[in-house]
Structure 1
Amino acid sequence: MGGLLGGPVVGGLVGLTGGLHRYSMGGMTALSCMISTIVEGLLGGLVHSILIRRGRTDKVFNPITAGAVTFVAEMVQMLIILAIARPYEDAVRLVSNIAAPMMVTNTVGAALFMRILLDKRAMFENTLLLFLPLR
């Protein structure tokens, strides 16, 4: 979400911060999850840049965009876990247990979060109109 809302620099820095935190927790997926968190932040930032460059700023705050980016990012995370985490058999077992729940809940959560942001923005805009001088 940081990358999608703030661009590649924000996405990279948020991903790095989250990735380092995840790495500090240790475990068999520490490295793969650190890398995937950074990649996810950069992916969101890349989508942000593409949308801005194409003049589609409306899509940056679109809940469907947020959900789609999150879904792809979660798929990438699962692939990175499978590519890096060892022993491989444990990584396969882990991904088979966590992939579906993470992809569904994080996708829905990102879309709902973006919807909340849009609703808040609309409320602030409507409130602002009350205080504008009459012409």
Structure 2
Amino acid sequence: MRFMVIMYPGPQAEAGVLPDEKTLAEMGKFNEELVKAGVLLGGEGLKPSSQGVRIRFPAGGKPQVSDGPFTEAKELIGGFWIIQVKSKEEAVEWMKRCPAAGGEMIELRPVFETEDFAPSDPSGDLRAAEHRLREQVAAKK
């Protein structure tokens, strides 16, 4: 099972304050453990929303682009991991080890796998197309 692990770091990250050297070293050690265990597929920290853009798609209308910061959002994503584990319980156990600071929060969300779409794709054509796209992405790495 793959999970997207979403980090909500709190207001310090949105203010553009980078973690101190100790915190970065602890996070690096944690990420190294994920890699050594074969769990980590990817992950990155995100810059503040002031450097981002949102695109809304209203029903029947044209896409609307808004520059950050996104002050209306109470919880903004500060980073993410993509992990692959055997179960949700294993994902939770890994993330409980994360060296997060007080006030931070982590959300785990399962990633849809192509097999999940089998009932909506009886011919298998859409799943085969998805598989080809994944192969193309992997080949470019």
TM-score of the aligned structures, taking structure 2 as reference length: 0.24
| Structure that is richer in strand per residue | 2
Q: For CA contacts below 8 A with separation 6 or more, give which structure has more relative contact order.
A: 2
